A and B are shown apart, each in its own frame.
Chain A
Amino acid sequence: MDIKRVKDSIYWLYYQYLLITCSYVLEPWEQSMFHTITVTVFAMVVYTAYVFVPIHVRLAFEFFSQIFGGQPESTV
């Protein structure tokens, strides 16, 4: 029963994606092409985020903590 609800909600999300991007009206081969492109772009976005975002966040954190927290160190 739970599996069915999960499957239904996944199908609903997939259907929303089809409606929003207007790929509901496309023929099957056009849909496959569109899905491939979308999945590729999405995978690239996820990969970039995974590789680069933690490093950038850490560097930004260090930069800002140097401005605010670094002052007591320099006066001593």
Chain B
Amino acid sequence: MANPSAVCNGHLHHHHHQKQNNLLKSGIYKKNGITKGMKKNGISNGTLYKKTFIEHFEQAPMYVAVLTFLGFGVGTVFGYLRDFMRAWGLEKRNVAAEREQQKDFVPLYQDFENFYTRNLYMRIRDNWNRPICSVPGPQFDLMERVTDDYNWTFRFTGRTIKNVINMGSYNYLGFAETDVNALKTVTIELQKYGTGICSTRQEMGTLDKHIELEKLVAKFLGVEDAMVFGMGFATNSMNIPALVGKGCLILSDELNHTSLVLGARLSGATIRIFKHNNMQSLEQLLRDAIIYGQPRSRRAWRKIIILVEGIYSMEGSIVRLPEIVSLKKKYKAYLYLDEAHSIGAVGATGRGVVEYFGMSPDDVDVLMGTFTKSFGAAGGYIAGKKDLVDFLRTHSHSAVYATSMCPPVAEQIIRAMKCLMGLDGTTQGLQRVRQLGKNTRYFRRRLHEMGFIIYGNDDSPVVPLLLYMPGKIGAFARRMLEKNIGVVVVGFPATPITESRARFCVSAAHTREMLDTVLNALDELGDFLHLKYSRYSKSSHPELYEETRLELED
């Protein structure tokens, strides 16, 4: 039972490289020679994963990496040139600089991050922080802004760009809407309670709305109790310190979100990182932790907690929950699952990765999630056993010091959750979840067929499309906006420096026509910017595709 995937695959090199030229990394491997191997050993991985787990992390051809570095080299050379000109007064200084009196102190802006921001980020800064002036539904309105001095300052022309297709908002189920009928109860609550709470949970900020919402969240997830907080980021960063402290061990995934990292660092526990979604790395760390104990005293760790996310928003990958739960049970560790992007977005009825893998919510010790993404509101929750939630009610920093969620927002979450569970008498919730699944699969399939390199699991609504070269980041975003499509592009430091990407978030509110518009635009732009790097693009003949994959495997 030690390495279920090792038995199943038969290629040992397969596990040690997370990103490689194989297109499929499946728990259940569908290849002729390997199924024979499975039968011989008598152990099959089919009991752990009830459906196929297909993730793609294709590597681009070598010339792409070389050209990316070349592009960054040119940018760096010109960055040094501009810094030189700024330092010698040949050019006007728009940057942050120290005052004259501070020139002899330790320099503040010399490190690479500031250099990168000044010289590379500033040049394409107009693609980020674009102000919008409507609800971020499937389409939205942008305020048009222009720059006269190459992105150092912006001014608004006063025009708005209308009906831009929104491929960047985390609006997975389409609950960010302004339909009056849908928001009826929210309007009533707004008139009843107003918007301000003006207190913390432990003083006078616990309303009956919060109790109602917490009961509903617990019922939705199938756990004993839940607690809600006003801000999703603060849910992680303020509650992890309450759960672990010095003498505890945190095993955190390589690509965890900043809120988890901040919470882990604030807690004072020892943090060890395992490779992204790599169960061998995690098991090795668990074994070392139990065998060697704490660093100098060799005592046993007070607690070992594993921090993972349901869907990783930069990669689009889904956590390998069955394997992690089996590891956690074997080595007696605790599991903290951050379902910020996966609650509402995966699973047959939208209950997150726990339902997606067909597991019971009792297997996960701390279920955390946010209401920002699929529910169109703001805030976060932590759910689990009643003892855990009661402990958090008294010991969480958020409960003591942070203002609680405001009632109209709580009502929005209640109505969205009731819609999802079917308690409002319609099947609209289930339809939304199914529509999201259909949209996701269609979008991903078409992008794969076109030949783009897409990362992540086939079922995740977060779709990163790799751009690689720094010049293409700005070109891609600007040209998509010209075609009236708003995308989010990401570069360093949110991603590794060579793997800049455009991240699409598919929504249930997108119609087939909108997706087709976006796909056609991507097709054109992919040819024009030469972005179709994939060497394994699927054709419409799956049998041929299977054969070519076999050749490449050997």
Q: B529 to chain A: which residues have CB within 8 Å?
A: 19
Q: Which residue of B lies closest to A19 (CB)?
A: B471
Chain B contact surface mostly: helix
In contact, B528 and A24 (Cβ under 8 angstroms)? no
In contact, B78 and A21 (Cβ under 8 angstroms)? no
In contact, A24 and B474 (Cβ under 8 angstroms)? yes
In the complex, whether B369 has a CB less than 8 A from a CB of chain A is no
In the complex, whether A30 has a CB less than 8 A from a CB of chain B is yes
Q: A26 to chain B: which residues have CB within 8 Å?
A: 78, 123
In contact, B74 and A16 (Cβ under 8 angstroms)? no
Q: B70 to chain A: which residues have CB within 8 Å?
A: 20-22
Known contacts A30-B78, A34-B74; is-contact A22 B528 (Cβ 8 Å): no
Q: A25 to chain B: which residues have CB within 8 Å?
A: 75, 120, 123-124, 470-471, 474
Q: A19 to chain B: which residues have CB within 8 Å?
A: 469, 471-472, 475, 529-530
Q: B75 to chain A: which residues have CB within 8 Å?
A: 22, 25
In the complex, whether B72 has a CB less than 8 A from a CB of chain A is yes
In contact, B150 and A20 (Cβ under 8 angstroms)? no
Q: B120 to chain A: which residues have CB within 8 Å?
A: 25
Q: Which residue of A lies closest to B77 (CB)?
A: A34
Q: B150 to chain A: which residues have CB within 8 Å?
A: 27
Q: Which residue of A lies closest to B72 (CB)?
A: A22
Q: Which residue of A lies closest to B67 (CB)?
A: A20
Q: A18 to chain B: which residues have CB within 8 Å?
A: 471
Taking the nearest CB of chain A, how far is it from the CB of B73, in angstroms? 8
Taking the nearest CB of chain A, how far is it from the CB of B99, in angstroms? 28
Q: B194 to chain A: which residues have CB within 8 Å?
A: none
Complex Cα–Cα for A20 and B73 (A): 11
Count residues on chain B whose CB falls below 8 Å from chain A CBs: 21
Complex Cα–Cα for A30 and B67 (A): 20
Q: Which residue of A lies closest to B530 (CB)?
A: A16
In contact, B471 and A24 (Cβ under 8 angstroms)? yes
In the complex, whether B295 has a CB less than 8 A from a CB of chain A is no
Q: A21 to chain B: which residues have CB within 8 Å?
A: 70-71, 74, 471
In chain B, positions 453-473 with a C-beta closer than 8 Å to chain A are 469-472
In chain B, positions 468-487 with a C-beta closer than 8 Å to chain A are 469-472, 474-475
Q: B530 to chain A: which residues have CB within 8 Å?
A: 16, 19
Known contacts A12-B528, A16-B530, A27-B150; is-contact A22 B475 (Cβ 8 Å): no
Q: Please give 17 more A-B residue pairs, beta carbons under 8 A apart, in addition to A19-B529, A21-B74.
A: A16-B530, A18-B471, A19-B471, A19-B472, A19-B530, A20-B71, A20-B469, A21-B71, A22-B70, A22-B469, A22-B471, A23-B471, A25-B120, A25-B123, A25-B124, A26-B123, A34-B74
B interface with A by C-beta (< 8 Å): 67, 70-72, 74-75, 78, 81, 120, 123-124, 150, 469-472, 474-475, 528-530
A interface with B by C-beta (< 8 Å): 12, 15-16, 18-27, 30, 34
Task: Give 27 pairs: A residue, B residue, CB < 8 Å, sorted on A.
Answer: A12-B528, A16-B530, A18-B471, A19-B472, A20-B67, A20-B469, A20-B471, A21-B70, A21-B71, A21-B74, A22-B72, A22-B74, A22-B75, A22-B470, A23-B471, A24-B474, A24-B475, A25-B75, A25-B120, A25-B123, A25-B471, A25-B474, A26-B78, A26-B123, A30-B78, A30-B81, A34-B74
